[in-house]
Structure formats: C-alpha cells, structure tokens
C-alpha cells in the first residue's frame, strides 16, 4: 500500500514539474517572439505627413496605444533621448482607427510618451503613416538623417515587454553621435499595430 501511494505521488510530482516546465517554455517563447517587419524605404517617404527635421536626425516610433508590451519601448525611448542630448527630433505616432472617438488612443502609453522631453505625439489614423514606413509591430522605430536617408529600423527593447540595455538603443545612440555601427536593424517585440496582443492586458496600458 505504501509503495502504491509513493508511486502515485512520484507520478503527480513528475506531471506537475512537466506542466511548470511547459509553462516557463511558453512564457520564454512569447517574450522572445518578435513581431513582423515590413519593407521600409531607404529614403524618407514622399507621401508621409510626418515632418523630416532638416537640422537633426529624425526618429519616429509607431505604437499601439493599448499594447502592454510597448510600455517598455516608451521607457527605453525616454532613456535613449536622455543619452543623445538633443541631437535627434523624436515623434511617436499611435495607431487609431478612424471611426473611433478621439479619446480611444489617449491611454497611459500616450501620456507617458507625451511626458518625455522633446517628444511630440500624434494619432496615426488607420495606420496610414505606419504603412508608409513599413511598420507592422508596435514599438517599431525608424531613424533618418537630415537628407532623409534611412539609418536604422527596428526595436529598442531586448525582448517583449522588458526594458534594459539592448542592441537597438545602443546603435541609435552611436548613430546620433556620428559613430560607426555594425547593426542597422533589430527585431521589434510588441503587438501588431492593427490588433491587440493575444493575452489579457489587465489594464497595463491604461
């Protein structure tokens, strides 16, 4: 009897460990799964409504206002701009369906981006501006020089929803300082610009 109970417990513990391991594997896979990257023009899009600064490099981030993953991207943008010390003009464009009210995009992410010194924040109605730059994932960042030449595209977080040192941020800081870099594109970790993340947000973006 004791042996039978012991064996049952061993089986249950083994199944529990397997379930925990599978859960961790799913979490790690989700955190490290980057979003789609579209085709980005090598030169500033002629039809865009976004202004190119003729005196400083221009950095543009496209974001979904209800994506919890983008919280980290906005935090990294704040840290990045503190490092480049005014050598770049920065704009954040939030996706907004045209048929929805003006308040739909005014989430906590909007307010956080708006609070970053030197950043201007805009609605991207139906994602039209994002499409011109080939942005398909929230948190996509593009850096162009004063002549409209593409210098960098990608993400500025190392994984989904996690702030901290990462290659994308390091490359942009170096480029703004006129230093050579080897990395001109990085993965973007975030939601689709046209859809929310497939996980509960728990109000993280509000």
pLDDT in tens, 50-95: 999 999 999 999 999 999 989 999 999 999 999 998 999 999 999 9
Range of the domain at 12: 1-31
Sheet order of strands, 57-63 included: 119-125, 88-96, 57-63, 140-144, 150-154
Strand duo 119-125 + 88-96: pairing: parallel
Residue 51 lies in a domain: no
Same domain, 63 and 122: yes
Residue 85 lies in a domain: yes
| Residues 140, 62 contacting (CB under 8 angstroms) | yes
End-to-end CA distance of the chain: 56
Residue 139 lies in a domain: yes
Residues 6 or more apart whose CB falls under 8 angstroms from that of 179 comprise: none
Percentage of the chain lying above the pLDDT 70 cut: 76
Q: What is the mean pLDDT of residues 21-41?
A: 54
Distance CA 44, CA 150 (A): 7
Same domain, 112 and 75: yes
Phi, psi of 129 (to 5 degrees): -70, -40
Q: What is the CATH classification number for the domain harbouring 106?
A: 3.40.30.10
Question: pTM of the predicted model, to two decimals?
Answer: 0.79
Residue 45 lies in a domain: no
Closest residue by Cα to residue 132 from 195, 39, 1: 39
């Amino acid at each position: 009897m004791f042996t039978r109970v012991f064996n049952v417990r061993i089986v249950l513990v083994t199944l529990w460990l397997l379930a925990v391991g599978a859960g961790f594997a799913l979490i790690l896979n989700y955190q490290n799964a980057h979003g789609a990257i579209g085709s980005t023009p090598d030169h500033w899009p002629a039809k865009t409504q976004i202004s190119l600064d003729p005196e400083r490099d221009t950095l543009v981030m496209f974001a979904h206002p209800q994506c919890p993953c983008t919280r980290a991207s906005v935090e990294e943008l704040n840290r990045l701009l503190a490092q480049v010390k005014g050598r770049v003009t920065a704009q954040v464009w939030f996706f907004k369906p045209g048929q929805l009210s003006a308040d739909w995009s005014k989430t906590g992410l909007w307010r956080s981006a708006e609070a970053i010194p030197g950043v201007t924040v805009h609605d991207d109605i139906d994602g039209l501006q994002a499409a011109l730059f080939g942005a398909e994932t929230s948190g996509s960042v593009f850096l162009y020089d004063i002549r409209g030449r593409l210098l960098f595209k990608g993400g500025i977080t190392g994984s989904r929803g996690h702030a901290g040192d990462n290659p994308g941020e390091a490359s942009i800081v170096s480029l703004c300082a006129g230093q050579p870099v080897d990395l001109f594109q990085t993965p973007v970790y975030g939601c689709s610009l046209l859809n929310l993340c497939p996980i509960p947000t728990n109000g993280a973006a509000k």
